[in-house]
Amino acid sequence: MGMVLTSLIALGSSPGKILPDQAQIERMARNLGMVYREEVLPIPESPPGAPEKGEKPEPEKEYIQVAIPPGSSSQQIASLLVEKGLIQDRSAFERRVRERGVSTQLEAGQFELSPSWSIDQIIDVLLIKGRR
């Protein structure tokens, strides 16, 4: 039985048959509908996130160093944030701190804050001990 099976396998794989090369395989695949990704999807001239032609590049994120002294109240912190240009409305900051119930949890330390951040984002950073 084993010899018959081996003979059949040997007959099926004729050594005289030449396998197709890469170009032939590609031609056969194209005949079956294969295309390359580059032929279908547009390839951008510039990397993703780069400004389009005529478009101004986005300015670098601006961060402002703020030192919150130990024992500062939320009112003192609000005044400091207004002074540094990080928020416009001191009372809005104080109100949001009260609403969130975190007036005694704001941390002292050195912080890098951005004027583009919302009041909640600033509060979130001030709640993280040792944030720089």
CATH T-level assignment (fold) for domain 64-126: Dna Ligase; domain 1 (3.30.1490)
How many other C-beta atoms are found inside a 10 Å radius of the C-beta of residue 24? 11
Domain boundary assignment for the chain:
64-126
Q: Is the pTM of this model over 0.75?
A: no
The share of the chain scoring above pLDDT 90, in percent, equals 46
- The model's pLDDT over 86-125, given as tens digits with 9 standing for 90+, comes to 999 999 999 999 999 999 999 999 999 999 999 999 999 9
* Interatomic CA distance for residues 77 and 73, integer angstroms: 6
Looking at residue 101, its pLDDT comes to 94
- When pLDDT is cut at 50, 70 and 90, the band that residue 69 belongs to is very high
What is d(CA 92, CA 130) in angstroms, rounded to the nearest whole number? 25
